[in-house]
Chains A and B, each alone.
Chain A
Amino acid sequence: QQPVQSPQAVILREGEDAVINCSSSKALYSVHWYRQKHGEAPVFLMILLKGGEQKGHDKISASFNEKKQQSSLYLTASQLSYSGTYFCGTDNFGNEKLTFGTGTRLTIIP
Chain B
Amino acid sequence: DTGVSQDPRHKITKRGQNVTFRCDPISEHNRLYWYRQTLGQGPEFLTYFQNEAQLEKSRLLSDRFSAERPKGSFSTLEIQRTEQGDSAMYLCASSLAAGKETQYFGPGTRLLVL
Contact = CB atoms under 8 A, between A and B. Distances in A.
Interface of A: 2, 30, 32, 34, 40-44, 47, 49, 87, 89, 94, 96-103
Is chain B's interface secondary structure helix, strand, loop, or mixed overall? loop
Contact of B102 (A40, A47, A103): A47
A32 B43 contact: no
Contact of B107 (A40, A100, A103): A40
Interface of B: 31, 33, 40-45, 48, 56, 91, 95, 97, 99-108
Contacts of A49: 100
Given A40-B107, A41-B91, A41-B107, A103 B41 contact: yes
B95 A96 contact: yes
Given A32-B102, A41-B108, A97 B45 contact: yes
A100 B43 contact: yes
Contact of B43 (A30, A42, A43, A47): A42
B32 to A, nearest CB: 11
A89 B45 CA distance: 11
Given A96-B31, A96-B97, A97-B56, A41 B105 contact: yes
A95 to B, nearest CB: 8
A44 B102 contact: yes
Nearest to B58: A97
30 contacts: A2-B42, A30-B100, A32-B103, A34-B105, A41-B105, A41-B108, A42-B43, A42-B91, A44-B103, A47-B100, A49-B100, A87-B42, A89-B42, A89-B43, A89-B103, A94-B99, A96-B99, A96-B103, A97-B33, A97-B45, A97-B48, A98-B33, A99-B45, A100-B43, A101-B42, A102-B40, A102-B41, A102-B42, A103-B40, A103-B42
